[in-house]
Structure 1
Amino acid sequence: MRTLKKLGFILLLLITILVIATGVIVYTLKPDYSGEQELVHLQKEVKVYYDTYGIPHIYGENEQDAFRTLGYVHAQDRLWQMELLRRIASGGLSEVFGKDLVGTDKFFLSLGIADASKKTVANSNRNDEGVVLAEAYLDGINQFIKEGPTPVEFYLTGIDKKEFVLEDVYNTIGYMAFSFAMAHKTDPLLTTINAKLGPEYLKDLSISSDTTTVWIENYNPSQKDSLQNNLTAVVNKALGVLNVPLFEGSNSWVIAPEKTKNGKVILANDPHIGFAQPSVWYEAHIETPTYSKYGYHIAGIPFPLLGHNRASAYGITMFENDDVDFYYEQNNPENDGQYLTSNGYVDYEIVEKTIKVKDTSSVEFTYKKSVHGPILNGIADQIQDERPIAMSWIYTQMDNKVIDALFGLSHSNTLSEFRAALPNIHAPGLNIMYGDAEGNVGWFASAQLYSIPDSINTKMIYEVGKGLPIEKELLAFNQNPQAINPPSNYVYSANNQPDSIAGMLYPGYYLPENRAKRIVELLEPKNDWDKESVSDMITDVTSAIDPVIVSNLSKYIDINLLSENGLRVIDSLKMWNGDYKLVSSEATVFNRWIYHLLKNTFKDELGEDLFNQLLTTHFVKRLIAPLSKNENSVWWDNVNTNEETERMAAIVNKSFTDAIASLEKDFGANGENWQWEKVHTIEHEHPIGQIETLRSFFNVGPYPIEGGREVINNLAFSYDDTGYYKTSSGPSTRRVIDFSDVENSISILPTGQSGNPFSSHYKDQAEMYVNGEFRKMMMNETEIKNTSNSILIFSPNQ
C-alpha cells in the first residue's frame, strides 16, 4: 500500500511539474500586450492600446517612431508568417522543411523575384520617405527578433531567427505579385489542348473576351467632356504544398452619396485570398500629428494594402490581367547552350543558385535565361526533355516602385493625391477602389498595360519568332480602365471583364459574370444603402447564374430515365433560387451535377491529369454557363464510345443520375439529408498543421459554412471525386466603411489577429466569421483608451 501511495505521489508530482512547465512555456512564448519596452532609435514615447480583439492602436509623436513600433508589435504576433513569406521568393523553404521543397525553391528562384529585389534595393534612394519608414519598420521587427520570445514554429523546425532587410520586403511583395498564377496554370494547358485535340476544342472554353457578359464600365469625366507540357502541374505542385495565402479574386463596391441613406459614401471590400493560418491581414491603427490610418498589413510589408481614415478609404480586388507570356525557344541542334534569335544562335545566360536544405547538403542549381526570360524546363523532372519554354513577366522586367505606391496610397487624403500614386503599381494588376468624405467614388485598374494586337493570342505559348516583341508599346495610365464618379453613382469590381481599354478588350483571366451580375442587380434599384444593408449584401450567398444553368440543363432531362427520387430532386432544383444556405440540399445536388457534367464532358478527351488541371483554372468557371446552352459543342462527343457523335442530352442525363447515385451512396435516399453544411466546410491550415498530431493545435476549424463558388460570399472550392467541398479561398476580410459614421465602421478576420497559437487572439474571430458577423474598427481615441484591454508603452532606449 505504501508503494502504491508513493507511486501515486510521484505521478502527481510529475503531472504538477508538467503543468507548471507547460504554463511557463505558454507564458514565455505568448505575445506581450502590456507593460513597458524600450526601442532603439525611438525619439519619443509611443503608446499602444490593444482592443478587445488584439488590434494595436498606435499613438506616436512622429511617423518613424510609429512605424518602428508597428514593426515590433507586428513581429510579436506574426514573425513566423513574416519568415515564411520572405523565404518563398528567395528559395529558402527547403532550409525549413527539407528536401521535399527543393522543387518549389527551384521554381521560385527561376522566376527571378529575388534577383529583381536585389536590383531594386541597390538602386533605391535611402532618403525617400517610403524607404525611411520601411527601414524604421524593419528596425522594430529586428529588435523583437533580438529581444522577444521565439515563436514555437522556430523550435519545431529548428531554424534560427535572422534579421530582416529591405530585400525581404520586396521579396514578399514579389511573391504576392506572383501568387495570382493563373497564366502559369492556363497557358500551357491551352497549348496542350490545342496541340492534342485541335483549335476547334478551344472555341467552347470561354477563354476570350466576351462582349455579351456583365462588365465593368469605364467613366472618366475629363475624357468624356473632351471627347503541351506539364508546367501547369509543376505550378500546382509548387504552390499546393505551402499553406500560405494566394491572391485569387475579390469583391468591392463603393456607393456614392446619392444612393446612401445618410448621404455619405460607403465602401465595401472583401479580397478573396487562399485560406491559411494565420490569415493574411494584420490590422493596425496608427495616429501621429501627420499620419492617420486604420490599415490592413501583409506580414513584412510596412504600408497597408487596404486602409481608411476620416478623409478617405481604399480597397483592392485582383484585376486579372495577363502580364505573363511564354515563348518556345529553339535550341541550336549542335549546341544546346544556344538558342535561335533574329540575329542567329546566341548563348543562353546561365544562372547559378545554391539552395540550403535542412538535414542534408546544399543543392547547386542552374537554369538558363533567354532574351525573353528564364527557361522553366529543368526546374522539375516532369518537363526535363521538352521544348525550351521561356517566361516573360513584367513584374521582374520594370523598375519596382510598389513601395512608393503603397506609401502614396496610405498617405493620401484626397482623390488627386490618391490617383497620383497609382501609376507606380506595374504588377500585379489590381483594381483599386476608392471613396472619400467629400463624396467621390472611384475604380482604377492599376497595372502597366501594353498594346496587344488582336492577332496575338496571349493565352498560348508563342512559337519561335512569334508573339509579343520584347520592347512593348506601353500604355499611359490614363488609358487603363477606370471610373470616377460615374452616372450610376457606384463603382464595383468582381474580377469580371472590364470595358475596352484604348479601343481594345485587354486579355486576362477574368472570372465569370456571376458575382458581378448579382452585385449590379442588388445595387442598381436601391437608393437608401446604409452600413447594415451593405453588411447583409457582403455576406449574400445567392447565385444569379446557377438557377439559369439549372434551367438550361433541365430542358435535356428525360424524366422517363429518372427514379422516383430523381424526379423529386429535379423538381426541387427547378424551384431553387440559387442560395447557398447551410440547409440547402439543392446547392449540394447542383454542385455534384456540375462536377459529373464536367467529368463526363471533358475527361474522355483530356485524360486524368489534364482534366484535373482544367479544374484549377478560372476559365472552367467561365465555361459552365455557356456550355449549359450550347448543344453543338464538340466536347459533347464521347471519344470512348462507338457513336460518332454523343448528344448533349445523353451527357446531361448521365451526369444527373451519377450525381443522384453518389449522394444516395454518401447520405442515403432521403434528400433532406443532403444539406450543404454536410459537404461544405472551412479549415484554416497552418504549414505545421500538416503533421496530424499537431493539426488540432495549429489549424483552426473545420466548420460548416455558408456560401459557395462565385456568389458574393465567395467561399470557393475545387471539384473532385469525393463530392466534399473543402473551402480553399474566400473573403480574407470583410470591411464596410461608412463615412456618415466612420468611427463605427465594421470588419472581420477569418480567424484572429495573432499568428501565435498561444495568444488569445489566435482564433477569437473564427466563429464570428463563419456566422457572418462583424466587429468595430475602432478609431475614436477616447473610446479606444477607455475600453482598451491593455497598454504597451515604448520608450526611447537610453
Structure 2
Amino acid sequence: MVRVIQWLLRIAGGLIILAVAGIALVYWFASRSLPDYDRVVTIPEGVAQPAAAVEIVRDNANVPHIFGASDADVFYGLGYAHAQDRLWQMMTMRRTVQGRLSEIFGPRTLPIDTLIRRLDLYTLAQRSVEVQDTRTAAALVAYANGVNARLAEINEGALGRGAPEMFLFNAPVAPWQPADSIAMIKLMALQLSGHMAAEIKRARTSLALPDPARLVDILPDAPGSGVAALPSYANLFEADLPRFAMTGEMPADRLSPFHSFEMAGASNAWAAAGQRSANGGTLLASDPHLGFSAPTIWYLARMELSAGGVIGGTIPGIPIVLSGRSEDLGWGITSSYLDDQDLFIEQLNPDNPEEYLTPEGYKTFETRPSIVNIKGAPPVTLTLRWTENGPVLPGSHANLGSITPPGHVASLAWTALTPADTTMSAGLALMYASTVQEALTAGEGFIAPSQNLTLVDGVQIALKTIGLAPRRDAQHQSQGRIPSPGWIASNRWQGALPYDSNPEFVNPQGGILGNTNNKIVNRPFPLNVSHVWGDSQRVQRWQRLMQMREVHTRDSFIEAQLDTVSVTAQSLLSLVAADLWFTGSAAPEGTRTRQRQRALDLLANWNGEMNEHLPEPLIYAAWLRALQDRLIRDDIGPLADEFTHVEPLFIERVYRDVDGASAWCDVIQSAPVETCTDMARLALDDALIWIEERYGPQIEALRWGDAHQATHDHPALGEVPLLRYFVNIRQSTSGGDQTLLRGRTSGKGNDPFLNVHGAGYRGVYDFADPDSSVFVTSTGQSGHFLSRHYDDLGELWRRGEYIPMSLDEDLARAAAVGVTVLQPR
C-alpha cells in the first residue's frame, strides 16, 4: 500500500512538473514575439531598404514618433511599427477582405469568405493601385516595405512568428502589398455600411405588418420634413411574398465584418471657432465609434513628414492618420449615413437562368470562378456573378432570400465597388493640408466610406460630407429605401453627384458646429443625402451643452465627450410612466406591486444619468426593451427579434398617439383592448422579473456597469476556455445607446446590455496651445496579450482620462520606453 501511495505521489509530482514545464515552454515561445523597442535593427537582406536610418521613438504610452530623412522613410517606419505591434490583426484583416479566413479557421468562416468573394473587394483594391497619385503610390510602396522588413526580421531572428496567434493558426504570411492597404479602406467601408441591411429590414417589415401604414411608426424617419408615400414592397413585384418569410441566416461570428444598420458605424465630432473659445484658438473634439475588440482597431502614431508633424489615430495596415492633427490643421470623422448602397431585384430569364432582364432586354451575367480553400475540408468553387448594377448576393445574407421573389436574384450597387478608388490619395492629401480650404479640396477624392469631415485650422472651422454620392432618378420607385426592380431604368444609378453638392458648412455665424450622426440637411429626394440617420437623440444633449457656455475650453469639450446624461430617458420616462407615478395602492413587501413601486420611485428621482454605479439606468433600459418587444411582437412575429434596440421615436409616436400610433398598444390576438398604460405596467413587470433572475431582487443594489461592460474581446481567441481570461478585456462603463459617451449595447442574447460599440479613439485638439491636445484609445498599443501595453490605456479610457498628444520631440524622448533605429544594410 505504501509503495502504491509513493508511486501515486511520484506520478502526481511528475505531472505537475510536466505541466509547469509545458506552461513555461508555451510562455517562452509566446514571449519570443514580444518586440524589443530599444535596439538597432539592421534591415535583413532580400527586402527593400530605407534610404537612410529611420528612428522610432516610443513615448511612455508606447506611441511611436517616427523620424526619417524623407517622407518615404517615415512611411517605412510606420509600416514597421504597425507590424511590430499589430501583425496578427493586420494579417487577419487582410485575409478577411481577401475572403481567405477559412484557410486558417476552417468551415466556421466559409459564409464570410463566400460573401466577401462575391463583393470582390480585393480585386477592386488591386485595380485601384494604378489610379493613386505619385506621392501616395510612393507612400504605399514604402509602407509595404516597412511591414515586410519586420516580417523578414521575424523569420531571420526566429521571433516567435511575430505573434502568439501565429502558433495556434499556423499559415504562411505573404509579403505586404500596396493593394493590401487600399483593401483595408474598403474593409472599413464594409464595416461602416448599413443601408443594404436597412433596405432589407424595411422590406421584411413591410411584408410582415398587418397594416402597412404603421411602417412609419416602427421605422420612423429622422425629424424634419417627410417624404412622399412609397409603394409597399409587395406591390413592386407580381409574385406573392409570404408574411414572416425567413431563410437561413449567416451565423454570427466575431470575425465577420458584416453588421446590422444599428452597428454600422457612429461617431461624434464638434468644433469651436476662436470667438467661442476661452483662449481665442480653435477647438476640435473627435471620437469615432466602431465595434470593440482586443486590441482596439485604433493605433496611435506620430509621423514627422516634410510638411511637418502629424499625430493621431491610425488603423494598422493603412498609412494614414484618420483622425488627428498637424501643427496647423485638425480633423475628425463621423459616419455621414450618406445612402451609398442600393439593392436591386434582378429578374432571371425563365428560359435561361444565366441571363437577367435589363431595360434593353435580357443580358448574360458576367461570371468568374473562385476557389475557397478550407482548412480540414475540401475546397469550394464559387461562381461569382455580376449584373450591370453590381454583384449578385446569396439569399442567406441578412435574410435577403425572404424578400426575393422566385425566379429573381438580388444584386448590390455600392460606391465602394469602384475599381478607381482614390480614397487613399485623398486621405494622404488631407495629412499634408495646412488650411481648412486645402483639406476641403483634398476631400474631393474620397469615394468610400462616406464621412462627415470636421476641420479646424488656426482661424477657421468647417464640416464637409466627403464620399461619392450616387445620382438617383427623381422617379425612382422606392427612392433607394427598399430593394427595387433592377430592370427599370429609373431605378438605376445615373452616375454620381458632384462633390460641390455634398453638404458643407464653413465658419458658421454661431462659431460652433458638429455632428453626432444626426440629420444635417433637409433636402428633397434625390438630393436628400439619406432617409435614415444614426442619431436623433445625442444631438439634443450636444446642442444643450454647446449653448450652455458662451466660450469653451479643451476641458469643456472633454466634459461633453464624456457626458452620460440621456435626454432620451428623461423624455420617454415622462411619457411611458405618466399614469404610473405615485398611483399605486399600498402593497406588502415581497409582492410584485411593491417591487414595481420601488422601481418607479427610483426612476421618478433620476436625472437620466447613465452612470455605471447607479441602478436606475438598468431598470430603465430593461423596461424600455421589454416595452418595445410587447408593442411589436404580436404585429410582426419572429421579425421582432431583429429589432434589437429601442427606437426612441417609435416609443414617442406610440405614447403621443401620433397619427394613431397608439394602436400598437392593443394586442391584436387578444379579445380585450389593451391601453398603453397597461403595456407599460406589464413591460415593467417583465423587466423586473428579468432583472431579479439575472442580478437578484435588491434593485437598489443594482449597478448599470455590471450589465454595461465594455467587451474588448479577441476576435479569434475570445471564446477559447481559460485563454479568454488573458486575451479579453472587460470594463464596467457608463453611458448608453443615446448618450454622448456612447456605449452601444449588443441588444442580443443573455446579456443584451453589454457595451460592444463605441469610441475606441478619443481626441481633443486645442489650437491655442496645440501641445496641450490629448488623445487615448480603449485598450493599448500592442496586440500581444503578454505585453504591458496590451491594455494599459484601457483603464485611462474607462476613467475618462487621456494622454498628451504632443509633437514636441524632446517630450517624447524624455520618458521613452525605447528607441528603435532601422538601419539600412
TM-score with structure 2 length normalisation?
0.88
Whole-Å separation in 1 of the counterparts to 2:182 and 2:531:
25
User: Aligned pair in 2 of structure 1 residues 607, 33: CA closer, same or farther (>3 Å)?
Assistant: same
Q: Deviations over 1:399-450 (max 9, x none)?
A: 20011111111111112211111011122110111111x2211111112224
Report the Cα offset of residue 757 of structure 1: 1.6
In the alignment, structure 1 residue 144 sits paired with structure 2 residue 150: yes
Whole-Å separation in 2 of the counterparts to 1:537 and 1:92:
42
Report the Cα offset of residue 532 of structure 1: 2.0
- Residue among 550, 558, 578 paired with 1:527: 550
In the alignment, structure 1 residue 688 sits paired with structure 2 residue 717: yes
Asked if structure 2 preserves the Cα contact closer than 8 Å seen for 1:547 and 1:574, the reply is no
In the alignment, structure 1 residue 329 sits paired with structure 2 residue 346: yes
- Residue among 23, 29, 33 paired with 2:33: 29
CA RMSD of aligned residues (A): 2.9
Q: Deviations over 1:224-250 (max 9, x none)?
A: xxxx79999878646654389975100
Q: Which moved more, 1:66-75 or 1:325-334?
A: 325-334
In the alignment, structure 1 residue 173 sits paired with structure 2 residue 180: no
Asked if structure 2 preserves the Cα contact closer than 8 Å seen for 1:59 and 1:287, the reply is yes
Asked if structure 1 preserves the Cα contact closer than 8 Å seen for 2:249 and 2:397, the reply is no
Whole-Å separation in 1 of the counterparts to 2:23 and 2:213:
68
* Equivalent position of 1:161 in the other structure: 173
5 Å-filtered alignment, 1:206-605, equals 206-211=219-224, 237=251, 240-242=254-256, 248-377=265-394, 386=406, 387-397=408-418, 399-436=420-457, 438-452=458-472, 453=474, 456-463=478-485, 465-466=487-488, 468-472=490-494, 474-501=496-523, 504-557=527-580, 559-560=583-584, 563-605=593-635
User: Aligned pair in 2 of structure 1 residues 231, 605: CA closer, same or farther (>3 Å)?
Assistant: closer
Asked if structure 2 preserves the Cα contact closer than 8 Å seen for 1:329 and 1:390, the reply is yes
Whole-Å separation in 1 of the counterparts to 2:246 and 2:79:
37
SS in 2 for 1:300: coil
**Identity over aligned pairs, percent:** 23
Whole-Å separation in 1 of the counterparts to 2:166 and 2:693:
45
Report the Cα offset of residue 396 of structure 1: 0.7
User: Aligned pair in 2 of structure 1 residues 238, 352: CA closer, same or farther (>3 Å)?
Assistant: farther
* Equivalent position of 2:235 in the other structure: none
Asked if structure 1 preserves the Cα contact closer than 8 Å seen for 2:390 and 2:413, the reply is yes
SS in 2 for 1:688: coil
Report the Cα offset of residue 364 of structure 1: 0.4
Q: Which amino acid aligns with 2:115?
A: F
In the alignment, structure 1 residue 666 sits paired with structure 2 residue 689: no
* Equivalent position of 1:217 in the other structure: none
SS in 2 for 1:250: strand
Structure 2 residues not aligned, in runs of 5+ = 227-240, 586-591
Q: Deviations over 1:500-559 (max 9, x none)?
A: 358853324312321111111001131232222221221110012221100011124384
* Equivalent position of 1:679 in the other structure: 707
SS in 1 for 2:481: coil
User: Aligned pair in 2 of structure 1 residues 681, 160: CA closer, same or farther (>3 Å)?
Assistant: same
- Residue among 618, 628, 647 paired with 1:620: 647
Asked if structure 2 preserves the Cα contact closer than 8 Å seen for 1:145 and 1:162, the reply is no
Whole-Å separation in 1 of the counterparts to 2:801 and 2:329:
24
Whole-Å separation in 1 of the counterparts to 2:800 and 2:17:
46
Paired residues, what number?
A: 775
Q: Deviations over 1:322-351 (max 9, x none)?
A: 111111111122222222222222222223
Q: Which amino acid aligns with 1:786?
A: A
Q: Deviations over 1:574-631 (max 9, x none)?
A: 33211011222221111111111111011122222x1122226xx9355344334236
User: Aligned pair in 2 of structure 1 residues 247, 571: CA closer, same or farther (>3 Å)?
Assistant: same
Q: Which moved more, 1:594-603 or 1:164-173?
A: 164-173
* Equivalent position of 2:60 in the other structure: 52
Q: Which moved more, 1:422-431 or 1:505-514?
A: 505-514
User: Aligned pair in 2 of structure 1 residues 764, 93: CA closer, same or farther (>3 Å)?
Assistant: same
User: Aligned pair in 2 of structure 1 residues 324, 691: CA closer, same or farther (>3 Å)?
Assistant: same
Whole-Å separation in 1 of the counterparts to 2:308 and 2:246:
44
User: Aligned pair in 2 of structure 1 residues 501, 425: CA closer, same or farther (>3 Å)?
Assistant: farther
Report the Cα offset of residue 451 of structure 1: 4.2
User: Aligned pair in 2 of structure 1 residues 740, 103: CA closer, same or farther (>3 Å)?
Assistant: same
TM-score with structure 1 length normalisation?
0.91
* Equivalent position of 1:124 in the other structure: 131
User: Aligned pair in 2 of structure 1 residues 233, 588: CA closer, same or farther (>3 Å)?
Assistant: farther
* Equivalent position of 2:728 in the other structure: 699
* Equivalent position of 1:728 in the other structure: 756
User: Aligned pair in 2 of structure 1 residues 681, 389: CA closer, same or farther (>3 Å)?
Assistant: same
- Residue among 777, 785, 791 paired with 2:819: 791
In the alignment, structure 1 residue 67 sits paired with structure 2 residue 79: no
Q: Which amino acid aligns with 1:482?
A: E
* Equivalent position of 2:237 in the other structure: none
SS in 2 for 1:689: coil
User: Aligned pair in 2 of structure 1 residues 243, 322: CA closer, same or farther (>3 Å)?
Assistant: closer
SS in 2 for 1:445: strand
Q: Which amino acid aligns with 2:124?
A: A
In the alignment, structure 1 residue 205 sits paired with structure 2 residue 218: yes
User: Aligned pair in 2 of structure 1 residues 383, 322: CA closer, same or farther (>3 Å)?
Assistant: closer
Structure 1 residues not aligned, in runs of 5+ = 214-227
Report the Cα offset of residue 307 of structure 1: 1.9
Report the Cα offset of residue 682 of structure 1: 1.6
Whole-Å separation in 1 of the counterparts to 2:775 and 2:187:
26
Report the Cα offset of residue 382 of structure 1: 6.3
